Chain A
Amino acid sequence: MTQAPKTGLSRRTLLTGAAAGVAASAFPAPMIWAQNIKDITLRQFGTGVSNLNEVAQKVKEDLGFTLEMTALDSDAVTQRAATQPKSFDIADIEYWICKKVWPTGNLQAMDTSKIANYDKIVGIFRNGKLTPESTIAQGTAPHSVGFTSGPGGKDFVAEESGWMTLIPTIYNADTLGIRPDLIGRPIESWTELLNPEFRGKASILDISSIGIMDAAMVCEAMGEIAYGDKGNMTREEIDKTMAIFTEAKKAGQFRAFWKTFDESVNLMASGEVVIQSMWSPAITAVKSRGIPCVYQPLKEGYRSWGGGIGLSANLSGLALDAAYEYINWYLSGWVGGFLMRQGYYSAVPETSKDFMSENEWGYWFEGKPATDTITNPQGQPMAQAGDVRDGGSFYDRMGAVACWNAVMDENQYMVRKWNEFIAA
């Protein structure tokens, strides 16, 4: 309030303002700050998946303030969220990263009563259950790190406390990507990653916390190891898993390991690799080059991940209000539609429906055959009429999650073992 010249406050306007403020708090209007909010700039950083310039442009159009986006890889995101709290206002991070970063106190809890669509957020992010009958998958399930005890809380609580750590924005179920034209037979199980048939033509991602999960899915499918919890392995389980993969590596099973999205696309598109861990948009990137590529559903289920936006502890006042407006806007449907047209899911799918055509909704969400050409948001064709999405509907895919991306108690030990595997 000391910046009087900017807003033109005099004693009189202050008084009327105070009266209006009382009135406004009784009848909350979303755009009270409409004039000042234009000067706000929010700095968001996160992984490339949801840091899209289209979103920033739309924010400027719809909300009036500026959103600056920085895209980094998962490791760099964790690093920045943990060590440079003043460098961002909004952190777009994954739930397993949240488990690492939240205890630092760099993010602030969010009041769910300010989130208009809170009640419509899918169950996965609230009580952990997609449908009331679902069982909760292993790993760092989003709801388990989604709530804290109150403002200023550094802990996680199991129930819906009204204070969220991250507002869920985007999630998906991951599986193996394959080149059907080069394999020429059905692939049904995670075990195929280590099938000697694909010696020198397989790949796995070199991001330890995710790679170990894919490795565990394979070892479990092979029947070699029975895990208590793949998302929280014991040292013995880690040793066994890495031993199996080290042996495969020495036998020349892997062509390469990849760390960035582009690397995975290039490995697949060039035919260096025919089966590998992959992310959904990488599949679409390969497909859009006219090369057949399938995100193969496997009988053991998916390895899933979820991301959300968290607010920096340094946010306050007008900027904080703007951030809440941004979150409400995020869940109101446009972004959801934009993301779902790339194969991700929105945390509030029903609001996204209004921003998608019936054909798009049917193809991406309901798993129905496309009635017309499906294009990605940039207008490139992704599927033709009659095509069905790999893995089917939302409930088929998210209902078959075997494990969530996770941080283990034995994380440091796991990382060392993973480094040994890479160096072996």
Chain B
Amino acid sequence: MAALFRNRHLTGWLLASPLAAVLAFFLVLPILMIVVVSFWGATEFSIYPAFEFDNYHFLLTSPVTLQVFLNTFKYALVTWALTLGIGFAVAWFLAFHVRSQTWQIALFLLCTIPFWTSNIIRMISWIPFLGRNGLANSTLISWGVIDEPLEWLLFSDFSVILAFVHLYTLFMVVPIFNTMMRIDRSLIEAANDAGASGFQILTNVIIPLCKPGIMIGSIFVVTLVMGDFITVRFMSGSQSANVGRLISNDIALLQYPSAAATAVILLVTVLMVIGTLLRFVDIRKEL
């Protein structure tokens, strides 16, 4: 028995098996099920096992699919750019501008406070704020900036992206802040001594060293935005669609096979995006 446990391979397998079992059961199996169901057929109120390409055929030939995927990419790209900009700035401020570690921790915790409430509540609270007679419009009117309420503030792409940025910026801040804190300060001093300007330090020292953090944050934001359906539904007043909404509509109408096919295509797309992102940075090496 004791000899058995000394066998490095066996202990290795044993240590890994609980997680492997959990993942196999709760991740791999459901995904396989989704793939299988995506080939099934559906009637009005039931689904039946089959092996047909109808769902994919409809999906890949419908002009709506292309439009909706483009819309999803648009949301992902714009949200990514904005969260990256804001997230990087906030992380920079926390890591390099705030000197005392106590303040760093205090301010960092401050960033996380909104996460104590549900993200749906945080999102919906924008609606009365941005509405036609909402706080934003009435303030702008009372300041005399505008005469008529701005219609595009709510139920538009603007409000969708605003909510996304609001919800997901922290997912950028945390990993970037983390990598920034691990940058050896003497490197910055060295760059300074070598005559580099502030901008050169940023582009030649800090950004390259922050790449893993940026990449992890990007993966978070891109996957969250691409998989979302509820933010788009509420903030666009149901007027815009992304892939998540296609899936949720199908599920609501009992069209599980078609929903599964859309989910498979979305999964493949997101994996391709992440694969592309990972080509830029070897996260494992950098961590």
Contact = CB atoms under 8 A, between A and B. Distances in A.
B249 interface: yes
Contacts of A257: 237-239
B284 to A, nearest CB: 39
Interface residues of A, number: 35
SS class, residues of chain A in contact with chain B: helix
A19 to B, nearest CB: 47
A100 B239 CA distance: 27
Contacts of A78: 45, 254
Contact of B133 (A79, A270, A412, A420): A270
B46 interface: yes
Given A79-B252, A415-B253, A423 B68 contact: yes
A255 B241 CA distance: 15
A82 to B, nearest CB: 4
A206 B155 CA distance: 15
Contact of A83 (B44, B249, B254): B254
B200 interface: no
Given A272-B131, A272-B132, A423 B252 contact: no
Interface string B63-85: 01001100100000000000000
A411 interface: yes
SS class, residues of chain B in contact with chain A: loop
A101 B233 CA distance: 28
A163 interface: no
A100 to B, nearest CB: 5
Interface in A255-305: 255-259, 266, 270-272
B64 A412 contact: no
B237 A75 contact: no
Chain B CB within 10 Å, residue with most, of A104, A256, A259: A256
A256 B155 contact: yes
Nearest to A205: B238
Given A79-B254, A256-B237, A412-B44, A271 B249 contact: no
Contacts of B44: 100, 407, 411-412
B45 A419 contact: no
Interface in B143-187: 151, 154-155
B237 A270 contact: no
Interface string B236-271: 111111000110010111110000000000000000
Nearest to B254: A79
Contacts of B198: none
B45 A104 contact: yes
Interface in B48-99: 58, 62, 64, 67-68, 71
A206 B154 CA distance: 18
A270 B45 contact: no
21 contacts: A75-B253, A76-B252, A79-B251, A79-B254, A100-B45, A104-B45, A200-B151, A256-B238, A257-B238, A257-B239, A270-B132, A270-B133, A271-B133, A272-B154, A407-B44, A411-B44, A415-B255, A416-B58, A420-B62, A422-B245, A422-B249
Interface of A: 75-76, 78-79, 82-83, 100-101, 103-104, 200, 203, 206, 208, 249, 254-259, 266, 270-272, 407, 411-412, 415-416, 419-420, 422-424
